[in-house]
Amino acid sequence: MALWGNNDAKGSGGTVSLDYSTLVVTGSGTTFGQVGAAATGDVIRFGSRTGTYYGDAIIVGIASTTQLSIASTSALSGAAISGVQFDISELPKYTTWDSVYIQRGQSTAETHLVISTSAASTAGIGTNKVTLTSVTGITTGDTLASGSVSKAVTSVSGSIVSLASTIAAAIASGATVTVTRATGAKASSVYGVAGAGVTAAATTKYALTHEGWVGVTTYIDSEGNLRVKTETLVAMSGITTGNTPTYPPV
């Protein structure tokens, strides 16, 4: 069995459901095993990278045009998969056990430390206001935390930070207070990129030096900017693309 091929657009019409306990995928309107469709050794990609993406799995058996089996669910998010769209790809199989790309390890709310400061005075139980020694950088929507307290910030006035609700535990004067900001989910996936994709991405943040199989990680930094990291997994020409979305995904 080859470690990868050159087709990122094999037949994938219909929808699929997965039984996590038996590793059996049941399709509706699918053509598993037919020419140009899913085959043993291919990777099935559950969901859509433009919507909900559940992850990848290696196909180890085809029972019929509507039933196949996968090797493992370790690269999947763990969420129920029922009646979802899918793609079939010949991407590098080893990426299904690479911790960078498995969906189970993808974050949904990365955070950035805005400030680590201290309480300027005691904030008692039942209040929603905390006076800090410094409020530099704090803004509405950030999260203030101290001990067992963790609350969303609703406003900042002078040195006083107002919270979304009252606190159930006091924050003593001098206690360490941290404020963090959600920076958006971090997502990593593998794309088959042909020459046209390299050209289309040349003037974007998705710019590449090679066509082939490429790992792409995206996230939003603390300033709200899109950041893109690319890794050439296999540099090769002749890649057939067409799965959704095509590269670059913008």
Residues 116 and 153 in one domain: yes
Residue type for 186, please? K
Q: What is the pLDDT of residue 109?
A: 64
Structural domain contains residue 247: no
Is 242 inside a domain boundary? Answer: no
Structural domain for 39, as ranges: 15-106+186-235
Domain count, the chain: 2
Select from 147, 165, 183 the last residue of a domain.
Answer: 183
| pLDDT for the residue numbered 242 | 85
Q: Are strands 53-64 and 43-47 parallel, antiparallel or unpaired?
A: antiparallel
Note whether 81 and 178 are same-domain residues. no
pLDDT digits (tens, 9 = 90+) for 93-147: 999 999 999 988 676 666 778 899 999 999 999 999 999 999 999 999 889 999 9
Q: Which of 183, 205, 223 is the last residue of a domain?
A: 183
Residues 118 and 162 in one domain: yes
Does residue 6 form part of some domain? no
Alpha-carbon span 86 to 37, nearest angstrom: 12
Taking the C-alpha atoms of residue 155 and residue 55, their distance in angstroms, rounded to an integer, is: 39
One domain for residues 88 and 121: no
pLDDT in tens, 135-179: 999 999 889 999 999 999 999 999 999 999 999 999 999 999 999
Inside any domain, residue 4: no
Specify if 28 maps to a domain. Answer: yes
Same domain (yes/no): 101, 34? yes
Q: What is the CATH number of the domain that holds 130?
A: 2.40.30
Burial 79-107 (b: 16+ CB within 10 A, else e): bebeebbbbbbbbbbebbeeeebbbeebe
Is the whole-model pTM more than 0.85? no
Q: Is 226 found in the same domain as 198?
A: yes
pLDDT digits (tens, 9 = 90+) for 77-99: 999 999 999 999 999 999 999 99
